[in-house]
Structure 1
Amino acid sequence: MSKLAECYSSTNETKPLIIFIDELDRCRLNFAIEVLEKAKHFFNVDNIIFVLATDKSQLAHSIQAVYGQGLDVNGYLRRFIDFDYLLPTSDNNNFFKNLLQKFSLDQILNNTKPFYMDTVSRDTYLNLSNNLINLYQLTLREQESFSKILNVVLRTHNHLDRSELTLLFFLIILKLKVPDIYKSLNKNSIKNFINRALENLQSHSTVVESKDLKSLPLLESLLLSVSSLNPLSVNTPIVQNYIKKYNLDNDKITVLEKCFLMIKYEEFGTYELLNLKKSIEFSVNFSL
């Protein structure tokens, strides 16, 4: 192994052979420990360096599961690890923004009609997607899955309007995070789906500051409007029941009323919602 490392070096400079072991914490318990302990036999070989990329807390659980809860995990790991580096937490919003740029989805969304929350502040699809990503705490892997589904849907469906895009974002989130609610959406259970989706949305909203949810009243108003044949307002019985059920404050009610006015003349209902789900299901057959 030492001589192999020398083969890759120039005559003037000896460079080490670096072996990366990634996601050790995701392996079967015994296997993770075996890999770590077998790799140790090579730690003292000249010009060989191992880099372990792992969730240290999860790896600790694996070690304790094998050797017992009373084991000093940090002491055990010091037998293998000389230097320990903690990577900084990623910025979710910037990560997703970069994903949109990677797939050129930012260009597609920029060409879509924007929506307005009021006459002063202009909201964007990026803000809405970020709100939902933060609300449902999507991991980086889940954000990648979100962007891949969105990529196929946007490239196979032309002229999705702002209402369809808003609900599309939400349906993809449900598919990734709350699949049982997502699967319940069908032509025979629209009202049940709407009630469960709104309840789930409210349950997540309670743990996030209201200032971080400025885009969500539009989503709520759309969900409430899906099964209604007529335009809604805050005085409509279905909306009044919603306000009372979740004890919405006056500020939230005012924003909801503006949203109802904004979508008043948009044609959107059960048929379009079911078609969005079909589009999402169609997308899983592709990888772009």
Structure 2
Amino acid sequence: MNAWGNFSQRWRKRWSEDKGDVAVFSSVLVVVLLAVIALQASELRQRYPVITWGSVSDAFAAVGTISAVIVALWQSVVIRRQAKDSAKEAADRFEDEIKAASARTRQEVDAAEQRSQREQQAAAERHEAELEVQREVARTQRVHLREQEFKLALIRVSRAASAYTHELATMVEQTGRVVNMPTRQERADALRPISKKLGALAEDLSVEISGAHMLTNNDELHNALDAVNAAAMSGPLSESNFRNTVIMEGQDPDYTPIFMLMERLHRVIGDARRMAAELLLTGWD
């Protein structure tokens, strides 16, 4: 259709430019033909002053011939007109078919673009869902890892507390032997190694408690660790009073504060372990 339209447009443009020249040429040609016809008629008139028309049958034959020629010319005109109309109809049908094909092509292209957009959107949603699942898995793994780290830290706190209470028991056990020493210096020298070891163990216990604090955000566990730390902080004072009584007075001290300290440490450590077990079982964050 594009080629036919271009040809038609070029033909109309050429006709609009040259129709004046064609009209002049046609007028000249008509004048020449009329002159030729006039000359021929004059010459025939001089040669044949009298025209014989023939018989009636000849006249009918001539009329029939002329009629046949006229009919043939008319049919030719009609056929050319029909051919022109058929060509126009064919061109119109071809143009309609091209428009329909273009419309179908646009629809197919639009449908393909829509499918591509839907597929891309679905792929993006699947990718986002996969990322969310991976983030959730990573978060769960981090929580579990931190839970395990806190559990190990609490075990270290328990071991440090057990070591401290064990050394307190050792000090109590040695008290009967130290009290019977005659001089204060001898009693101080006998208890000095135990005192140094108790100080180091108390420091280790405090460090382990601080480390466990850093591995949790749960207030209940912080409170449980604070209770352990408070019990540990009271240890040096009770131990100092116990040791001073033995060294300075040379008498059996009151064992109750030491036993209460040991019992309190075991109790608060046990409470912290039970609370951690319950919270870790439910997956605390």
Q: TM-score range by the shorter chain?
A: under 0.3
Question: Which has the greater radius of gyration?
Answer: 2
- Normalized per residue, which structure has more strand? 1
Q: TM-score, normalised by structure 2?
A: 0.19
